[in-house]
Amino acid sequence: MARRKEAARAVRRAVRRTALVVGEGDTEEALLLHLRRLYTHGAQGLRISIKNARGKGAGHVVDCAIRAGAHAAYDHCAALLDTDEGWTPAVRRRAAARSIQVVESDPCCEAWLLEIVGRGAERRSAEHKREFERVFGTSAHEPRVFTMHFQREVLDAARSRVATLDQLLTVFGV
The DSSP code sequence of 53-122 is --SS-HHHHHHHHHHHHHSS--SEEEEEEESSSS--HHHHHHHHHTTEEEEEESS-HHHHHHHHTT----
pLDDT greater at residue 81 or residue 17: 81
Per the CB < 8 A criterion, the answer to whether 100 and 59 are in contact is no
pLDDT value at residue 42: 67
Ranges 40-44, 67-71, 144-148, most confident: 144-148
Name the pTM for this structure.
0.89
pLDDT digits (tens, 9 = 90+) for 57-101: 999 999 999 999 888 889 999 999 999 999 999 999 999 999 999
Topology annotation, domain 16-109+141-171 = Rossmann fold (3.40.50)
User: What residue spans define the domains of the chain?
Assistant: 16-109+141-171
Amino acid letter, 74: Y
**Separation between Cα atoms, residue 116 and residue 107, nearest integer Å:** 15
Cβ neighbours of 133 (radius 10 Å) = 15
